């Protein structure tokens, strides 16, 4: 860090080292523009995904699935965490070197706050550095929500997902507050490592955004692995004891308790805008606390863009990457690309097997007045999917929602081995207007998971 009153000027200033920001930094640097990228922590070079998000959690999914019945849960988990930490350190160093070694890109470590619309201050006191730029990108991501439950925030055993994956001690009993994608993914991971997992969800059902038949199959898999799922609860209090934490909750008018060695707050994430000084820059925010942007990701100050989770869009690394394409098109392209161009964006919940979705559910399609036909089948009943038997994973189901008159694919839910890859094929087909019959009659390699489409899409019923 530089000394008091020192300053830098750049063509582009990027606050946050996430996927979108680092992509723009690299591209603009290659074009010869001067770029300053500010990251508040040297543990977060590369952003959430390679450090505390996608990469370490999916690596833990892999390691948890390799544990054999006779392996010590604690020893296996400790080795797995060590291996994952080595991987994230490798990625972190690679991300830093790739940018900082570029002639026109400077990486500054410290917390940035706006001083005026074109200037930020990084750090305080003698370490204060000012950076001015013609164009600014805010790429600060999101942060976990800790619910306002009496005793929760003060508990010494409450953890966020980032905290949990970095501890080398496997909790014997893990309580998870929240039955959404994050909560269910961690429930699956830690149950397979050997923790006794309890999920507490306030809604009547987990995975409420899914159709009931898909959610029921997913829940059956989770319960079959020993995960206790309690829905329709109100957590009233969290009390730390000497050796455990007690969670007091109400269900059906009765008070009940569960004890845990760790409590994971999995109630979602909010845009990370605290202490950014957005008021000094004249940047407006939404009622939900995200930075307000237009379809080109410009904020209320046209020279300032917001990309990634901080702008309130879907919280996916690949959406942040697409944000970077929109911004680059504004800065050096034709300025035509926008968020309105996006369609059929898939997502995956990495339970085991993974659950991947794209487009509309059956419920959403019918509520919108669409006349639909459904193609669906349990994986165990799909004869044309020998890969499921080869890898000994026949749990799950596949479901397609199709426009009855046009044969247009409106959406799909794939709960199966390789679903995280299969869903990309379905999404690509949807983007290019392929009919369900075309996907059904395509030629796929054998034995593969994709060839299941031949059979499942042949079961269409009205």
In CATH, what number is assigned to the domain containing residue 409? 3.30.390.30
Mean pLDDT of 224-249: 96
Q: Whole domain around residue 353: which residue ranges?
A: 347-456
Q: Which pair of structure tokens corresponds to residue 181? A: 């994608």
53 and 72 belong to one structural domain: yes
pLDDT in the model for residue 4: 40
pLDDT tens readout for residues 159-184: 999 999 999 999 999 999 999 999 99
Tell whether residue 179 is among the known ligand binding residues: yes
For helices 181-193 and 73-100, angle between their N-to-C axes, nearest 10 degrees: 130
Alpha helices in 112-251 (DSSP H): 161-164, 181-193, 212-224
18 and 113 belong to one structural domain: yes
375 and 286 belong to one structural domain: no
DSSP SS3 for 298: strand
At residue 317 the predicted structure's pLDDT band, cuts being 50, 70 and 90, is very high
239 and 250 belong to one structural domain: yes
Q: Which pair of structure tokens corresponds to residue 316? A: 């996916």
Cβ contacts of 371 within 8 Å, gap of 6 or more: 403, 404, 405
Tell whether residue 201 is among the known ligand binding residues: yes
276 and 253 belong to one structural domain: no
* pLDDT surpasses 80 at 126: no
DSSP SS3 for 236: strand
pLDDT in the model for residue 227: 98
At residue 3 the predicted structure's pLDDT band, cuts being 50, 70 and 90, is very low
DSSP SS3 for 201: strand
Tell whether residue 178 is among the known ligand binding residues: yes
Tell whether residue 180 is among the known ligand binding residues: yes
Residue 312 CB: number of other CB atoms within 10 A?
Answer: 18
pLDDT in the model for residue 70: 87
Share above pLDDT 70 across residues of the chain, in percent, rounded to a whole number: 98
pLDDT tens readout for residues 35-54: 999 999 888 888 888 888 88
pLDDT in the model for residue 461: 60
Please report, to the nearest 10 degrees, the dihedral formed by the alpha carbons of residues 406, 319, 339, 136 taken in order: -170
User: CATH code at 42?
Assistant: 3.50.50.60
287 and 395 belong to one structural domain: no
In the block, which residue shows the tokens 């089948």? 377
137 and 15 belong to one structural domain: yes
* pLDDT surpasses 70 at 64: yes
Tell whether residue 134 is among the known ligand binding residues: no
* pLDDT surpasses 50 at 429: yes
Dihedral sign for Cα 364, 366, 369, 375, please. positive
**Domain-located, residue 151:** no
375 and 288 belong to one structural domain: no
Mean pLDDT of 406-428: 98
Mean pLDDT of 303-316: 95
275 and 139 belong to one structural domain: yes
**Domain-located, residue 55:** yes
Last residue of a domain, one of 292, 311, 341: 341
At residue 127 the predicted structure's pLDDT band, cuts being 50, 70 and 90, is confident
At residue 462 the predicted structure's pLDDT band, cuts being 50, 70 and 90, is very low
**Domain-located, residue 149:** no
* pLDDT surpasses 90 at 102: no
pLDDT tens readout for residues 444-457: 999 999 999 999 99
Q: What is the number of domains present in the chain? A: 3
Last residue of a domain, one of 280, 311, 341: 341
Kindly write down the DSSP assignment for every residue of 300-348, as one continuous string. Answer: SSTTEEE-GGGGTS---HHHHHHHHHHHHHHHHS-S---GGG-----EE
Tell whether residue 156 is among the known ligand binding residues: no
* pLDDT surpasses 90 at 124: no
DSSP SS3 for 422: helix
Alpha helices in 161-269 (DSSP H): 161-164, 181-193, 212-224
pLDDT in the model for residue 2: 34
Tell whether residue 183 is among the known ligand binding residues: yes
Last residue of a domain, one of 322, 341, 360: 341
Q: How far apart are CA 329 and CA 338, in angstroms?
A: 9
Which helix (H) or strand (E) is 160 found in, with range?
none
Mean pLDDT of 281-293: 97
134 and 162 belong to one structural domain: no
Cβ contacts of 21 within 8 Å, gap of 6 or more: 14, 15, 37, 47, 137, 139, 307, 308, 324
* pLDDT surpasses 50 at 321: yes
At residue 69 the predicted structure's pLDDT band, cuts being 50, 70 and 90, is confident
pTM for the whole structure: 0.92
**32-66 b/e with 16+ CB inside 10 Å = b?**
ebbbbbbbbeeebbbbbbbbbbbbbbbbbbebbee
Chain centroid to Cα 450, Å, comes to 24
Which of 46-50, 74-78, 211-215, 383-387 shows the lowest per-residue confidence on average (mean pLDDT)?
46-50
Please identify every residue annotated as catalytic: 446
* pLDDT surpasses 60 at 333: yes
182 and 252 belong to one structural domain: yes
Averaged pLDDT score across all residues of the chain: 94
DSSP SS3 for 429: helix
Mean pLDDT of 389-411: 97
Q: How far apart are CA 321 and CA 436, in angstroms?
A: 29
Share above pLDDT 90 across residues of the chain, in percent, rounded to a whole number: 89
At residue 123 the predicted structure's pLDDT band, cuts being 50, 70 and 90, is confident
């Amino acid at each position: 860090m530089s000394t008091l009153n020192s300053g830098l000027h750049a063509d582009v200033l990027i606050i946050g080292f996430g996927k979108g920001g680092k992509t723009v930094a690299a591209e603009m640097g290659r074009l010869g523009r001067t770029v300053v990228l500010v990251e508040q922590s040297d543990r977060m070079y590369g952003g959430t995904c390679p450090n505390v998000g996608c990469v370490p959690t999916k690596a833990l999914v892999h390691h948890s699935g390799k544990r054999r019945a006779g392996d010590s849960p604690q020893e296996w988990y400790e080795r797995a965490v060590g291996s994952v930490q080595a991987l994230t350190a490798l990625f972190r160093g690679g991300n830093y070197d790739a940018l900082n070694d570029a002639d026109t890109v400077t990486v500054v470590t410290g917390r940035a706050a706006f001083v005026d619309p074109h200037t930020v201050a990084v750090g305080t006191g003698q370490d204060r550095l000012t950076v001015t730029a013609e164009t600014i990108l805010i790429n600060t991501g999101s942060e976990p929500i800790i619910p306002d439950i009496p005793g929760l925030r003060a508990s010494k055993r409450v953890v966020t997902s980032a905290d949990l994956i970095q501890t080398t001690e496997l909790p014997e009993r893990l309580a998870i507050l929240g039955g959404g994608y994050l909560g269910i993914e961690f429930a699956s991971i830690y149950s397979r490592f050997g923790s006794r997992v309890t999920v507490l969800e306030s809604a009547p059902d987990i995975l409420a955004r899914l159709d009931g038949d898909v959610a029921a199959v997913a829940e059956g898999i989770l319960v079959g692995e020993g995960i206790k799922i309690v829905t329709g609860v109100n957590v009233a209090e969290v009390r730390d004891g000497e050796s455990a934490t007690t969670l007091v909750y109400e269900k059906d008018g009765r008070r009940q308790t569960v004890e845990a060695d760790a409590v994971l707050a999995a109630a979602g994430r909010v845009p990370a805008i605290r202490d950014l000084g957005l008021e000094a820059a004249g940047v407006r925010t939404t009622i939900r606390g995200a930075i307000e942007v237009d379809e080109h990701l410009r904020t209320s100050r046209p020279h300032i863009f917001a990309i990634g989770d901080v702008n309130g869009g879907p919280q996916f690394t690949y959406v942040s990457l697409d944000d970077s394409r929109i911004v680059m098109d504004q800065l050096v392209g034709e300025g035509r690309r926008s968020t309105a161009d996006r369609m059929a964006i898939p997502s995956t919940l990495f339970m085991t097997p993974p659950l991947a979705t794209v487009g509309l559910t059956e419920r959403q399609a019918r509520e919108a007045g669409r006349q639909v036909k459904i193609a669906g089948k349990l994986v165990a009943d799909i004869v044309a999917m020998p890969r499921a038997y080869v890898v000994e994973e026949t749990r799950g189901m596949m479901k397609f929602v199709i426009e009855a008159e046009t044969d247009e694919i409106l959406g799909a839910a794939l709960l199966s081995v390789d679903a995280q890859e299969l869903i990309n094929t379905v999404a690509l087909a949807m983007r290019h207007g392929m009919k369900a019959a075309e996907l059904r009659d395509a030629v796929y390699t054998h034995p593969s998971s994709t060839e299941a489409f031949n059979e499942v899409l042949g079961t269409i019923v009205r």
